[in-house]
Structures are given as structure tokens and as C-alpha cells.
Amino acid sequence: MATARLHLDPAFTVGPVRPRTFGAFVEHLGRCVYEGIFEPEHPEADDDGFRTDVLALTRELGATSVRYPGGNFVSGYRWEDGIGPVEKRPTRLDLAWHSSDPNHVGVDEYMTWCAKAGVEPMMAVNLGTRGVQEALDLLEYCNVPSGTYWSDLRRANGHEEPYRIKMWCLGNEMDGPWQIGHKTEHEYARLATETARAMRMIDPSIELIVCGSSASDMPTFGRWEATVLEEAYDYVDMISAHAYYWEKDGDLNSFLASAVNMDHFIDSVTAAADYVRAVKKSDKRINISFDEWNVWYMDRAESVPPTGDDWPVAPKLLEDHYNVADAVVVGNLLISLLRHTDRVASASLAQLVNVIAPIMTEKGGRAYRQTTFHPFAITAANATGDVLQVGIDAPTMTTTRFGDVKAIDAVATRDTDTGTTNLFVVNRAPEEATELRVDLRALSGFAENNISSVQAVTYHHDDHTWQATADDDTTVVPTANKTARIDGHELVIELPAISWSHIALSH
Ligand code: AHR
């Protein structure tokens, strides 16, 4: 069996773990809202129509924030349609997903749901078909206490206290030609800057996220970030990044190494932001909101919206069924996000329910966990304290897309309050198991026997194409990895091929 080694030292940290790294996303798309979080006719729906089984799974997942209402949807959205008496709300065409939206869920329902789920809201404004004024109206509705038209309307709608939403996205993927109201980088830079400047006049405490690129292979990537930030730098806090990965044309090795692309993407956006910082001679740093990331098989039939006169409410769209390899990739993408905790200030797994999601529902029936649920939930629950720098010596694997890459990838966090070091590790080799050895001397202060316990779980199945269903989401779950042991000054553990593991060390 091949051997890999990890080197870590608590003196070398990247920065604190940011709870916002574990955000998710709810878009008016397919069955994410309707039949996902909201289904008043469901036997487990609460008085507000929210599915309590989905709420429970959201909490178990450990989602910390939820972005809303889109996505591509937001670029044609009139937020005013979703407030006030439900029976008076209009049904509108959703051009982004060729669907109809009855607007039974809007800003107030979303905020009620966030409070129940215990997540921070992240609101996106429409900069596709709309502009500065509509963003200001929404902000006034949400964050101004009282005494103005929109704030008093919120109170009249039964929500006395202002929501004081902190995170606001200035549109969505405005670089994409598919976006309603798609813009050039110069057009978007102007609009985003003016919207941001005016929004800050209402509430200077908000955190604003300007649109970066919708993928690192967009033709405008890099130039878009620099141009937008040259104009918006002083008015925004973060720039967004979006990335989706899938096993394209059966190229499993490249897919398993997807985090190599995410690492490079984050480093490139950071470089573009810091280039503008240098030009502006600014002390301020712009961080990244990685507010859409996941595995998404976008070339499958599930991702094709209806056409013609068919404008259904909540059609089955983007309902990818994930396998074990997909879960390993999701776990690895989280490793990449955590390792960049110095610059990735927020992230959102896209999405939460039914639409490329860790949680699936049946209409009127069960809710269940997809394979990708597990690495996310375990990482969110255990990554606390500081992220440590990790040196990795590992055998390489060959990929068509990225050349030779390390077969092992890992990140470590150390929490001095709980006396725990947590390792999150993937073996992305398609066939080779690897023995991992971790030098513990620096971690245990060079004192012998200072590690009081080692607990490890591994997510793996000999058939990496296994998928969870509503009937069976428990055949493959993370299980104790009994090979984990202390050998002298090293932790030793065997990592099967295509596996994700969590190792907790108490000291
Ligand atoms: O998450 C699905 C879609 O992917 C979002 O609506 C859009 O922003 C992105 O292209």
C-alpha cells in the first residue's frame, strides 16, 4: 500500500474557521422552495407551511446561512410580488427556469423560515431587470425599523421588528450571457457601484457582495473581477465566485481532483482583488463569497427547463442523484474552502433541497439525505477553532485536466477551547488505498502520549456509484475507521480509494 504523510504545527495557522463557510442556498427553482422547504399540505408541515422534516435535516446538515431568492431567478424577480396577503399575490412567469411562480413564499416567509432553521439570511437583489431603486426599497422593507412607506408595510404585514439582514448580493452571475439583463463588466461595475453606494446610505452596516465570475473558464474571467472592483472597491466587502463540477465524459480522475480547480480559482480571484488593492493603494482587503459551489451534472436531462407553452409551478429540475464519488468531491471542495479561510469569508453550497441538493423530498412523503449530506454535516459540526497549514507528501495520480496531482488532500483545524484537532482527508485515487501517517510531535507539544483519543470515520463504498434513495439512505454512511491508531509519534490510518475521512484527536 502507498504511504502519504501530513505535517502540521499549531504555530502555523491560516486563520479562524468562519462559520459562514457552511452556508447553503434556496432558490425559486424547481422544487427547492415549493415541495422543498414549503409544502403546507404535507403531514409534517408546521403552521406556516414549512416542512419540519426538512427543517430538522437543515439543522443536522449544519447550514449556517442561506442565500435567497436566486440564482438566475433573481434577475427577473419583483420582490414586492411576494409580500402581503397570499391570496392577492400574482403568479408570474419565471423566465430563468421557464416556470410559473405563485409567490406563496416571499421575503417574509423566507425570514420566518431562516429563524426556524437557525440560519443567517443572505439576500440577493435583482440587478438584471431592475436597478438601484428596487434594491433600496427592499433594503428599506427589511432593515429600517419603522416610520417609512416600506418599513411600515413590513410592520403592517405582521413583522414589527426589522430583519437587519447583513449580507446582500448585488445581483447574480451578471457576466453570464444566459442571465436576464446580462451586462458587460463596465455596465455591471457602474450599476453595482451605484446600488452599493445608495444601499449604504440606508444601512452602512450591511456587507455587500459584488458579482465575480460565474465560472473560472468564463471568457471574461479575471478581467471581469479587476474591472468591477476598480469601480466598486470602496463600496463592497466581498466578490462572488461560483463553481460546479461533474464527471464529464467519464473522466473520473479529473472529476475526483476537482478541488485543484477550486484552489486555483480562489487564488486567481484573490490575485485580481489584490491587484486592484495595489493600484488603489488601499488598506482594505476584498474577500471572496463562494456563494455557489457543488457537483452538478448540468448536461443531464434533469437540468433542461420546460419549453413552449408549458410553464409549470415547481417542476422537477436539477434533481441530481449523487453517488459516493460525488460526496468525496464535495468533501474535498469543503477542504479547499477551509484551507482558504483567510480569503473565503463566506460560502454557499448550491443548493439546499431537491435542486442539486444534499436533502431530497417526496411530495407528501419522505425527506432523505443524499450522499453529499455526510461530508458537509460532519465538517460543519467539527471544523472549529483555527485552520492549520498542512504539508502533504503523497503519491500522485494522473488526470487529463490537471496533470499529475496529489492523491491525498487534507485540511486540519485546531480548537484550543475543546482541546481537539480535526483532520478532514480525501483519498481521491480511483483504485489505490493509501496508508496515511501524521506526525503528531508538534501537535502534542513534543510530549509523549499527549493525544488522549483518536476517533475516525470514513465515507466509502466499494461501488463508488452507489446512490441514496428515499427507500435507502443508510446503506452507505460514514462508519468508524478501525485502522486509525497511534504508532509512536504518528497517527496512522488507512484510507480506501475514493474516500473521505474525518479524524478527531483529543489532547
Ligand atoms: O444553482 C443553479 C444555478 O446555477 C443558479 O440559478 C445560477 O446562479 C447558476 O448558474
Annotated catalytic residue within 35, 120, 292, 494: 292
Whose alpha carbon is nearest atom 5 of ligand 1?
71
Cα(338)–Cα(335) distance, integer angstroms: 5
- What would the mean pLDDT of 223-252 be, rounded to a whole number? 97
Pocket flag, ligand 1, residue 350 (CB < 6 Å): yes
Which contiguous run of DSSP H or E holds residue 506? strand 499-506
218-227, 255-264, 450-459 — which is least confidently predicted?
450-459
For position 272, what pLDDT does the model report? Answer: 98
Fold of 18-382: TIM Barrel (3.20.20)
**Closest-lying ligand 1 atom to the alpha carbon of residue 97:** 6
For ligand 1, mutation pick of 28, 31, 72 (most atoms within 8 Å of CB): 72
pLDDT digits (tens, 9 = 90+) for 410-425: 999 999 999 899 999 9
pLDDT digits (tens, 9 = 90+) for 357-397: 999 999 999 999 999 999 999 999 999 999 999 999 999 99
What single-letter amino acid sits at 225? E
pLDDT digits (tens, 9 = 90+) for 248-291: 999 999 999 999 999 999 999 999 999 999 999 999 999 999 99
For position 448, what pLDDT does the model report? Answer: 53
**Structure confidence at residue 452 as a pLDDT band (50, 70, 90):** confident
319 catalytic? Reply is no
- What would the mean pLDDT of 147-174 be, rounded to a whole number? 98
Pocket flag, ligand 1, residue 27 (CB < 6 Å): yes
For position 327, what pLDDT does the model report? Answer: 98
For position 443, what pLDDT does the model report? Answer: 84
Pocket flag, ligand 1, residue 225 (CB < 6 Å): no
Pocket flag, ligand 1, residue 305 (CB < 6 Å): no
Cα of 300 from ligand 1 centre, angstroms: 15
Cα(155)–Cα(13) distance, integer angstroms: 46
Q: Tell me which residue has cell 475516525.
A: 456
Cα of 208 from ligand 1 centre, angstroms: 19
Annotated catalytic residue within 140, 173, 185, 247: 173
For position 450, what pLDDT does the model report? Answer: 67
Whose alpha carbon is nearest atom 8 of ligand 1?
71
The percentage of residues in the chain with a pLDDT greater than 90, rounded to a whole number, is 95
User: 289-303: b or e for each residue (b if 16 or more CB lie within 10 Å)?
Assistant: bbbbbbbbbeeeebb
**Structure confidence at residue 309 as a pLDDT band (50, 70, 90):** very high
**Closest-lying ligand 1 atom to the alpha carbon of residue 27:** 6
Cα of 255 from ligand 1 centre, angstroms: 20
**Closest-lying ligand 1 atom to the alpha carbon of residue 294:** 1
> Does residue 451 surpass a pLDDT of 80?
no
Whose alpha carbon is nearest atom 9 of ligand 1?
71
For position 214, what pLDDT does the model report? Answer: 98
Cα of 492 from ligand 1 centre, angstroms: 41
For ligand 1, mutation pick of 292, 299, 354 (most atoms within 8 Å of CB): 292
Cα of 207 from ligand 1 centre, angstroms: 22
For position 410, what pLDDT does the model report? Answer: 98
Q: What is the CATH number of domain 2-11+386-506?
A: 2.60.40.1180
Domain boundaries, the chain: 2-11+386-506, 18-382
Q: Do domains 2-11+386-506 and 18-382 have the same CATH topology?
A: no
DSSP assignment of 355-422: SS-SEEE-TTS-EEE-TTHHHHHHHHHH--SEEEEEEEE--EEEETTTEEEESEEEEEEEETTTTEEE
60 catalytic? Reply is no
Secondary structure tally for the chain: helices H, strands E: 10, 24
**Structure confidence at residue 297 as a pLDDT band (50, 70, 90):** very high
Pocket flag, ligand 1, residue 348 (CB < 6 Å): no
- Total length of the chain: 507
53-67, 431-445, 465-479 — which is least confidently predicted?
431-445
> Does residue 454 surpass a pLDDT of 80?
yes
**Structure confidence at residue 444 as a pLDDT band (50, 70, 90):** confident
Residue 190: exposure state from Cβ atoms within 10 A (0-12, 13-18, ≥19): middle
For ligand 1, mutation pick of 99, 101, 173, 353 (most atoms within 8 Å of CB): 173
For ligand 1, mutation pick of 25, 31, 122, 172 (most atoms within 8 Å of CB): 172
For position 507, what pLDDT does the model report? Answer: 79
In a 3-state reduction of DSSP, which class is residue 258? helix
Pocket flag, ligand 1, residue 70 (CB < 6 Å): yes
Cα(501)–Cα(494) distance, integer angstroms: 10
- Packed helices 373-382 and 52-61: angle between N→C axes, nearest 10 degrees: 60
Whose alpha carbon is nearest atom 1 of ligand 1?
350
Cα(410)–Cα(176) distance, integer angstroms: 33
For position 344, what pLDDT does the model report? Answer: 98
Cα(337)–Cα(5) distance, integer angstroms: 21
Pocket flag, ligand 1, residue 172 (CB < 6 Å): yes
Strand partners, 368: 360
